[in-house]
Amino acid sequence: MNLMSTLKGSLLENFFPKGWDLEKIDRCCSNPPESILERQNWWHKDFQPIPCETLEEFNMKMGHEIAVEICEAKEKGQKLILILPVGPMGMYKWVVYFLKEWGVDCKHIYGFNMDEWSDKEGNTLPPTEPGAFQNAMEQAFYGPLGELTVPENQRFFATKELLPKYPEKINELREEGARIVLVFGIGRVFHIAFWEPHFAEEFESEEEWRQQTYRLGAKLHPLTIEQNAITSFKSRTTLVPCFANTIGPGIFLKADKIIGGADGALGRGMMWQGMSLWVTLRYGPDIWVPSSFMPTLPGKLFFLKELAGPLIPECN
């Protein structure tokens, strides 16, 4: 007896995005751990998953990858657009460490936060609030860089006022020769930024879906809310906003390179991101599974090795 055999007539019958193929998702998760690096025919030739034994190794390697991109752009005299997440976060201290060790400043960087909590109209938290993504970025990245930091007028946050300006500003920078590097995590429901799977229902084609550059007051899936209750709100579901401002595929699928991270292990054998990782790598591009497009882009996806499983039941 499993989810697929008991779903009909249950409280969960209309819970999952209706475009999900649950049997296919389960097949993705049934692969043996040692097969996770096996290349799939839809992967970009320069896409590579990178397993990490420990969280510190994960943070360091992901941070090093970002720092190298910053350094190489500096050496080329090239502007660099960094699209940045607040989750994962541990890599930022390593980006700061490497840049300070190398003496590389970030005057050529344009940082675009990919999302921010909001209400349904797109109004966001004050930037000094502890839960605000802008505050998190200032504390973890921009502040610790000190004199090497990104100029304030080159930091963009996903507010109601600034997010609609992202497409035009990014296009302007691209015309000036800027390179786009997308840094990202993968959501419980396979979102990138807060671009949720159920948005797919609104579009008649993949082409139309791909054109969407942002959304204000995006309605979040209940599993996204619960994921964030666990990872960011000390289990207090009642504190998690139900809406967010977010970039869309019209921005995150235009990256010249991606640097992804999956670190969702909770200790004692518990995790929340094993399914998200396997489906990202095995499902194949589908607008109901936004993260499934990530392997079609050049770059790297760092992940904790334990997330590969085996994903079998275990009492903890």
Name the helix (H) or strand (E) containing 185. strand 179-185
Q: Dump pLDDT digits (tens) for 117-156.
A: 999 999 998 998 988 999 999 999 999 999 999 999 999 9
Does 4 have pLDDT greater than 80?
no
pLDDT of 316 reads 75
* End-to-end Cα distance, the chain: 21
Q: For residue 25, how many C-alpha atoms fall within 13 Å in the half-sphere facing its CB?
A: 19
- DSSP code per residue over 32-67: -GGGTT---TTS-TTEEEEEESSHHHHHHHHHHHHH
Q: Dump pLDDT digits (tens) for 189-201.
A: 999 999 999 999 9
Report if pTM > 0.85. yes
Amino acid at 230: I
pLDDT of 11 reads 65
Residues contacting residue 200 through CB under 8 Å, at least 6 positions apart? 17, 19, 209, 287, 288
Q: Does domain 44-308 have CATH number 3.40.50.1360?
A: yes
pLDDT of 3 reads 72
pLDDT of 130 reads 86
Residues contacting residue 205 through CB under 8 Å, at least 6 positions apart? none
Angle at 95 between CA 148 and CA 88, to 5 degrees: 130
Whether residue 110 contacts residue 142, with contact meaning beta carbons closer than 8 Å, is answered with: no
Token couple for 27:
């097949």
Q: Distance between CA atoms of 117 and 133, rounded to whole angstroms?
A: 8
Does 104 have pLDDT greater than 80?
yes
Does 44 have pLDDT greater than 90?
yes
Whether residue 274 contacts residue 28, with contact meaning beta carbons closer than 8 Å, is answered with: no
Angle at 48 between CA 230 and CA 172, to 5 degrees: 85
Q: Distance between CA atoms of 222 and 220, rounded to whole angstroms?
A: 6
| Average pLDDT of the chain to the nearest whole number | 96
Q: Dump pLDDT digits (tens) for 199-212.
A: 999 999 999 999 99
Does 219 have pLDDT greater than 90?
yes
Mean pLDDT of 304-308: 98
Confidence of residue 167 (pLDDT cuts 50, 70, 90): very high
Mean pLDDT of 155-166: 98
